[in-house]
């Protein structure tokens, strides 16, 4: 951990006081829910938040879904996650067919009733699993891994998202990041995403050091974004150069700490990249 701490300190020490203060503010990554809209629950379990228009679509197309005294209630009578998942998946497929849900990925995300801490106890069976694009659509909390690649003097490798990405095309991002696919552990996801997005194949996954969790919440065009970012820090040698392997990153930039924060302040980075970097640094600084 001492080497990890030195890498984080190197980045932090090269920022001026105003940049440090701005970065620390990125830990406040949870916006208030917009006015209007509805929180919704499934069989008594609080699930997420949807717009008034989406709430009406759920009432019309999702069997057992009703609006009662300003609350959206979905009663399924299902006693298994598979039954709930299949019913909700059919609704999402209908939404996609009608052009109301965009960015279909053909990938399942899991949803848990309880928010996990670090390390996340994701061995608990999920409440349901549905199409990844449906999470923002329905305001469900998802999980993603975010990896920051530091060089010894504190410089940071950052990837620019491909222009064809469904979310945040062309913006700068972390060394690697990706949603937690149902059935895959956070560390396995991190190792896989690192290989696919940056071409870095770790023979020792222990090089990825957990730097905590930060929850981000905000309104996006696709719906309410609610995600737990599982943050990892990776310390790279000067000889390790990322090269994209899956077409999701159009270029990598090695930026100084000042350049990173300046570009973040100018809106050139994704919001989650800003929040996860703040968590990465604070997580390292507070480690014993």
Long-range contacts formed by 187-191: CB under 8 A, 24+ apart: 189/145, 190/145, 190/147, 190/230, 190/232
CB atoms within 10 A of CB 203: 5
- The pLDDT of residue 2 is 45
- The pLDDT of residue 7 is 83
Q: Is 105:168 a contact under the CB 8 Å cutoff?
A: no
pLDDT less than 50: residues of the chain: 1-2, 4
- The pLDDT of residue 219 is 96
3-state class (DSSP) for residue 127: coil
Nearest to 130 by CA among 114, 145, 111: 111
Q: Is 159:206 a contact under the CB 8 Å cutoff?
A: no
Spatial neighbors of 277 by CB under 8 A, at least 6 apart, are 23, 26, 148, 156, 174, 260, 264
3-state class (DSSP) for residue 11: helix
Spatial neighbors of 119 by CB under 8 A, at least 6 apart, are 186, 210
Spatial neighbors of 257 by CB under 8 A, at least 6 apart, are 11, 12, 14, 15, 19, 154, 155, 156
Q: How many residues does the chain have?
A: 288
d(CA 86, CA 99): 20
| pLDDT tens for each residue of 108-166 | 999 998 765 665 666 778 999 999 999 999 999 999 999 999 999 999 999 999 999 98
């Amino acid at each position: 951990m001492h080497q990890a701490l030195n890498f984080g300190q190197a980045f932090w020490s090269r920022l001026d006081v105003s940049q440090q203060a701005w970065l620390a503010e990125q830990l406040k990554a949870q916006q208030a829910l917009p006015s209007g809209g509805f929180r919704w629950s499934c069989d008594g379990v609080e699930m997420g938040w949807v717009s008034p228009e989406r709430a009406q679509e759920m009432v019309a197309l999702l069997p057992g879904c009703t609006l009662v005294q300003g609350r959206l209630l979905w009663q399924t009578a299902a006693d298994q996650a598979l039954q709930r998942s299949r019913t909700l998946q059919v609704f999402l497929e209908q939404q996609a067919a009608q052009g109301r849900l965009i960015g279909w990925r053909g990938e399942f995300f899991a949803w848990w009733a309880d928010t996990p801490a670090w390390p996340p106890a994701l061995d608990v069976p999920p409440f349901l699993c549905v199409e990844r694009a449906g999470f923002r659509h329905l305001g469900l909390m998802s999980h993603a891994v975010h990896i920051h690649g530091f060089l010894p003097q504190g410089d940071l490798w950052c990837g620019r998202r491909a222009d064809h990405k469904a979310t945040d095309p062309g913006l700068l991002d972390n060394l690697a990041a990706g949603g937690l696919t149902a059935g895959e552990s956070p560390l396995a996801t991190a190792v896989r995403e690192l290989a696919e997005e940056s071409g870095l194949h770790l023979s020792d996954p222990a090089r990825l050091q957990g730097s905590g969790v930060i929850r981000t919440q905000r309104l996006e065009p696709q719906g309410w974004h609610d995600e737990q970012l599982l943050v990892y820090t990776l310390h790279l040698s000067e000889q390790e150069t990322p090269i994209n392997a899956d077409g999701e990153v159009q270029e990598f930039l090695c930026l100084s700490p000042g350049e990173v924060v300046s570009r973040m302040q100018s809106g050139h980075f994704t919001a989650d990249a800003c929040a996860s970097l703040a968590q990465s640094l604070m997580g390292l600084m507070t480690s014993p």
